[in-house]
């Protein structure tokens, strides 16, 4: 991202956390940034370090100066590594010595392709010489000798010295808590930070990490290498991985696509807080507040994962097309939701197409977002969306009613099956209802006989009356059903009623839906 590119430009100075035989390099006192710089080919090479080998190699890189044209002897103090990585001081110098000894045997394998299309690999030995304190030393002077002097092989110069292009830089404080695999994944993503995504073949990663035999199954590789790496990168470093897409060839996962972005930094300068009116020659009539539908609750501070999703969704339009910096956009995501951002994008796109933006597109977008700017097309879209939502809510009401009636009908069948007399009792107790009594008399006068149970079942009004009476007679049986129906539908019902009440006047609401739902 832009801010990290600025980091590399502004703060690429020699630094040193580890004492060396040479004078200490000056640290940037203002920012406290200690940069590590590697050629991209080295990052993508095939090699496998353990944790202590990684610490030694990183400690050497910290001491390489930008102006160095040749390698020097680098002195790595055990106490400085303990301090840098926040380790326990009780650990032994032996760990440092053994790591240096094993590093002497390690190599980088850098792959390349010939003009004929043949894949080849060059092996580079890393260290030429190490000097360390032997085991079994005791006395007051031992502590003064707990260091190792290290010299690189001269063939390593193209990958570490005088790098002008095709290199990656990062601050050591972002990787000190990373294990071996998370650090490798971090470096691979850091190469593509300005793009925000990178696709890597599964076998390609396995070869680079030398774990092809260790993790033959993709599930094991993803579980033990990728997932912990993403977790630690998000927790400890300056970038956030928002998504890892599994790309398949047939049924086999053959590649992984990482989606990521830089985290906000409190030290970055905020977007200028000035009057943006000169950037906005027009103001569209109407605003979102004219037709705003209130919600039951709205959290201003979005969760991190939601911010990541919104950033990914609108990154192309807001950052790449409009030129809003990632830092400013992340700050806006703390306040504005998806709908507001989408509206501002649409308004900005039309204003740009109509050549109504006479200055900064980024400034226009920000002002349109904060001011809730709208236009006729946006309002037409809102009206269409509200009509669609109303249709969906009506269908949901109908579905809920059908669900309730179905449940009641099934329970009535169960009750009348084990207690056939309950229907007769219910009919007998209906005589106290004046309206029902009149309807029964009218039906009997037409049919010239007394009504049977089947007659009550065929008449909708009489059937509903009998059902209600059965429910009263079998109150304990239907109490459980009532609770179940209420539990299943109450939340959806309240959401539907809330939308309808804020969309229509009470009179209009009653006219449309009176009697459609009985709670």
Average pLDDT (225-247) is 93
Residue 419, by phi and psi: left (phi above 0), alpha (psi -120 to 50) or beta? Answer: beta
What are residue 510's phi and psi, to 5 degrees?
A: -65, -35
Long-range contacts of 195-198 (CB under 8 A, 24+ apart): 196/1, 196/259, 196/260, 196/261, 196/315, 197/257, 197/258, 197/259, 197/260, 198/257, 198/258
Q: pLDDT tens digits, residue range 89-98?
A: 666 778 888 9
Grouping H, G, I as helix, E, B as strand and the rest as coil, residue 171 is strand
Residue 358, Cβ neighbours under 10 Å: how many? 11
Q: pLDDT tens digits, residue range 398-418?
A: 787 777 777 777 777 777 777
Q: Check residue 378 and give its pLDDT.
A: 67
What are residue 51's phi and psi, to 5 degrees?
A: -65, -45
Determine which helix (DSSP H) or strand (DSSP E) holds 72, and give its type and residue range.
none
How far apart, in Å, are the Cα atoms of 183 and each of 45, 50, 118, 428?
A: 14, 11, 30, 82
Separation of alpha carbons 88 and 238, rounded Å:
25
Going by pLDDT thresholds of 50, 70 and 90, the confidence category of residue 501 is low
Q: In the structure, how many helices (H) and strands (E) does the chain have?
A: 21, 10
Which of 173-177, 231-235, 377-381, 386-390 is predicted least confidently? 377-381
Q: Check residue 53 and give its pLDDT.
A: 93
Residues 6+ apart with CB under 8 A from 193: 1, 4, 239, 260, 262
Q: Check residue 17 and give its pLDDT.
A: 35
Q: Check residue 424 and give its pLDDT.
A: 79
Separation of alpha carbons 87 and 269, rounded Å:
34
Instruction: Flag whether pLDDT at 255 surpasses 50.
Output: yes
Q: Check residue 503 and give its pLDDT.
A: 52
The most confident of the ranges 273-277, 460-464, 482-486 is: 460-464
DSSP 212-279: TTT--SHHHHIIIIIHHHHHHHHHHSSEEEEEEEEEEETTEEEEEEEEEEEPP-TTSPPPP-S--GGG
Separation of alpha carbons 108 and 44, rounded Å:
10
Going by pLDDT thresholds of 50, 70 and 90, the confidence category of residue 20 is very low
Q: Check residue 91 and give its pLDDT.
A: 63
Beta-strand runs (E) in 316-470 = none
Report residue 206 as tokens: 């396995």
Q: pLDDT tens digits, residue range 47-63?
A: 999 999 999 999 999 88
Q: Check residue 490 and give its pLDDT.
A: 52
What are residue 72's phi and psi, to 5 degrees?
A: -115, 180
Average pLDDT (296-309) is 51
Strands 197-201 and 252-262: antiparallel
- Give this prediction's pTM: 0.49
Q: pLDDT tens digits, residue range 328-360?
A: 888 888 888 888 898 889 888 888 887 888 778
Instruction: Flag whether pLDDT at 269 surpasses 70.
Output: no
Separation of alpha carbons 27 and 64, rounded Å:
13
Residue 448, by phi and psi: left (phi above 0), alpha (psi -120 to 50) or beta? Answer: left
Nearest of 194, 61, 220, 191 to residue 126 by alpha carbon? 61
Separation of alpha carbons 54 and 183, rounded Å:
9
Q: pLDDT tens digits, residue range 160-189?
A: 998 888 899 999 989 999 999 999 999 999
Q: pLDDT tens digits, residue range 413-470?
A: 777 777 777 787 787 777 777 888 888 888 888 888 888 888 888 888 888 888 887 7
Q: Check residue 241 and give its pLDDT.
A: 93
Residues 6+ apart with CB under 8 A from 82: 88, 89, 91
Q: Check residue 395 and give its pLDDT.
A: 81
Top-confidence residue, 17 or 186: 186
- Count Cα neighbours of 509 within 13 Å in the Cβ-side half-sphere: 13
């Amino acid at each position: 991202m832009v801010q990290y590119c600025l980091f590399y430009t502004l703060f690429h100075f020699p630094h040193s956390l580890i004492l060396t035989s040479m004078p200490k390099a000056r640290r940037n006192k203002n920012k406290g940034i200690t940069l590590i710089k590697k050629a991209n080919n080295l990052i993508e090479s095939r090699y496998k370090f353990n944790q202590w080998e990684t610490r030694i190699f990183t400690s050497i890189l910290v001491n390489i100066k930008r102006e160095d044209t040749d390698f020097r002897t680098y002195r790595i103090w055990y106490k400085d590594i303990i301090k840098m990585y926040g380790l326990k001081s009780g650990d032994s110098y032996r760990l440092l010595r053994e790591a240096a000894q094993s590093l002497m045997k390690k190599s980088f394998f850098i792959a390349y392709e010939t003009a004929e299309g043949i894949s080849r690999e060059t092996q580079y030995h890393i260290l030429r010489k190490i000097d360390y304190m032997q085991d079994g030393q005791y006395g007051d002077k031992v502590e003064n000798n707990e260091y190792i002097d290290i010299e690189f092989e001269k063939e390593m110069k193209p990958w570490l010295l005088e790098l002008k292009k095709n290199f990656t830089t990062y601050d050591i404080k972002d990787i000190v808590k990373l294990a071996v695999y998370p650090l490798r994944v971090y470096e691979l993503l850091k190469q593509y930070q300005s793009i925000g995504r990178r696709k890597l073949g599964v076998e390609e990663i396995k070869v680079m990490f030398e774990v092809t035999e260790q993790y033959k199954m993709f599930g094991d590789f993803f579980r033990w290498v990728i997932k912990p790496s993403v977790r630690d990168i998000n927790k400890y470093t300056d970038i956030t991985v928002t998504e890892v897409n599994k790309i398949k060839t047939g049924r086999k996962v053959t590649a992984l696509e990482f989606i990521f972005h830089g985290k906000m930094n409190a030290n970055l300068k905020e977007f200028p807080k000035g009057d943006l009116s000169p950037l906005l020659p027009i103001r569209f009539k109407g605003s979102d507040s004219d037709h705003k539908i209130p919600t039951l609750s709205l959290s201003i501070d979005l969760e991190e994962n939601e911010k990541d999703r919104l950033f990914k969704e609108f990154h192309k339009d807001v950052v790449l097309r409009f030129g809003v910096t990632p830092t400013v956009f992340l700050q806006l995501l703390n306040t504005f939701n998806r709908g507001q951002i989408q509206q501002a994008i649409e308004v900005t796109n039309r204003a740009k197409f109509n050549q109504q933006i006479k200055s900064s597109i980024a400034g226009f977008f920000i002002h349109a977002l904060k001011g809730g700017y709208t236009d006729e097309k946006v309002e037409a879209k809102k009206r269409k969306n509200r009509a669609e939502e109303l249709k969906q809510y009506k269908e949901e009401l109908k579905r809920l009613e059908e669900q309730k009636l179905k449940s009641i009908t099934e329970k009535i069948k169960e009750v009348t099956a084990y207690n056939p007399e309950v229907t007769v009792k219910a009919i007998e107790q209906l005589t106290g209802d004046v309206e029902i009594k009149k309807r029964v008399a009218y039906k009997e006068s037409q049919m010239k006989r007394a009504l049977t149970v089947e007659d009550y079942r065929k008449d909708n009004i009489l059937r509903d009356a009998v059902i209600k009476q059965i429910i009263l007679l079998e109150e304990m049986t239907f109490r459980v059903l009532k609770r179940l129906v209420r539990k299943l539908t109450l939340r959806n019902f309240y959401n539907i009623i809330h939308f309808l009440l804020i969309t229509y006047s009470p009179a209009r609401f009653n006219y449309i839906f009176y009697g459609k739902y009985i709670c």
